[in-house]
Amino acid sequence: MKKQLIVVGGGFIGGHLVADLLRQGYTNVRAVDGKPLDDWWQRFPQVENWQLDLRVRKNCDTALEGAAEVFNLAADMGGMGFIENNKALCMLSVLINTHLLQAAKEYGVKRYFYASSACVYAADKQKSAAVVPLKEEDAYPAMPEDGYGWEKLFSERMCRHFREDFGLATRMARYHNVYGPHGTWTGGREKAPAAICRKVIEAKLSGRHAIEIWGDGLQTRSFMYIDDCLKGTQAILHSDILEPINLGSDESVTINGLVDLVEGIASIKLKRTYNLNAPKGVNGRNSDNAKIQKLLGWAPDTRLRDGLEKTYAWIYDQIVSGKPCPLY
């Protein structure tokens, strides 16, 4: 069976992807991550688990040797608080994609997947909370999220030109806010679903029935459950879709609405305060799924309430058992 290489296999999405490949019967899997093995979110003994800093070119050569298909999930990022305060750090991931593409070309990799982001979309398309769902062509003229978004957009172009100039079969998906169990839920890198789950759980357990919300709570987003991300990622890699494509839910919700859902799961009602000085990102962002529905006959369809229930239950167990939050 062709060797599958998962870059950042010790992270949230990467760990789930390794687990999914094993469930499907893959037996030739290599997971690579820069974190020490003990800090990986999920680790499986039947997999080649390697700790390598892929910002270094020679380590990319080592990682790709013998690999037929590559899933590049590398990104130094987190929620809006992290992205807005660590722009240079976010952009350094460009080294990993660049070195991996060079090594993939030299080692004859058959298929190469790049995980891009909805942060590539032009800011002037996201000024209103009543946002029109973002279509793939809305990334240009370019005005992406500063730092992280620019790195993702540049790396998309690198993938495109390696396909055009060298014949490397690259595929790209623009992830929209992936969430689920085994994800970061505290420490500054967590995204909104995990952060809200944690805050509601802590308010309930402490008896302090109050929650702080970043921004005015009116900003809108869509959130994709991890199972949909895994299915879409693999389908896109093995498809004939050459250009970057949205991979996200089109179920839009305000941050206030997200809190409503988690409060309902927890059977509690909290007093809300709003931190208008906290990072909140764009006012509105949602995925237009017309293209993925047309080309794959499928789009992410896990209801937000259903995914939140599973995520809440997992985070609750972590908190009450005193387990440390996984590193990003």
Cis peptide bond N-terminal to 141, omega within 30: yes
Q: Which of 114, 121, 148, 316 is catalytic?
A: 148
* Paired tokens of 246: 């949205």
Judge whether 312 counts as a catalytic residue. no
The whole-angstrom separation of Cα 41 and Cα 93 is 20
Q: Is 285 left (phi over 0), alpha (psi -120 to 50) or beta?
A: beta
Length of the chain (residues): 328
Contacts of 324 (CB under 8 A, 6+ apart): none
Residue 315's identity, in one-letter code, is: I
The whole-angstrom separation of Cα 191 and Cα 325 is 13
> Which helix (DSSP H) or strand (DSSP E) does residue 30 occupy?
strand 29-33
Active site residues: 148
